[in-house]
Amino acid sequence: MKGGEALTFTLQVVSGWSDRDASSALIAQQLQKIGIQVTVQQEQYGAYMSNIQGHKYQLAMSWTNVGPTPYYLYENMLSSTGGWNLEQYSNPSTDAVLNNFSQTTNQTQQQQDIYKLEKVMINQLPSIPLFYGPYWYDYNDSRFTGWPSAQNP
């Protein structure tokens, strides 16, 4: 309890996304053990997207872009000029670090910039990464053959 008041939150998640549904239920269960009440609210995809893009949520089980370096994750979540910054995080110093990373090919400098961005995530906690989600794809094998399978690994 903060100041004698119970902490309660609503966690929005897309209904039917079983991995995120299970993760949301687990988060609610674990937070309840320390006195934080979380109600999981399952939404259809369209309503969910409208809510998070309109900043009408308290907590959301979401996702972000990935790429060949952690920069893509951090830029997407932390850049105040775009990306998937749904938490509306804004910090000119963080924007400068993101810009420095994108303006150099010096790997040592980029590594130092990533360390600075890691500290932002740890100290300011604008978003809480939980897990590296799988990529799901649909494909049609009617015109292409040779896809890996149990019989053809």
Strands (E), the chain: 7-14, 36-43, 59-60
- CATH 3.40.190.210 domain residues, the chain: 1-62
CA distance 131 to 100: 27
pLDDT tens for the 153 residues of the chain, in order: 556 788 999 999 999 998 889 999 999 999 999 999 999 999 999 999 999 999 999 999 988 877 889 999 899 889 998 767 888 889 999 999 999 999 999 999 999 999 999 999 999 888 888 877 766 677 777 888 887 888 888
As its CATH architecture, domain 1-62 has 3-Layer(aba) Sandwich (3.40)
Give the pTM.
0.75
CA distance 60 to 39: 11
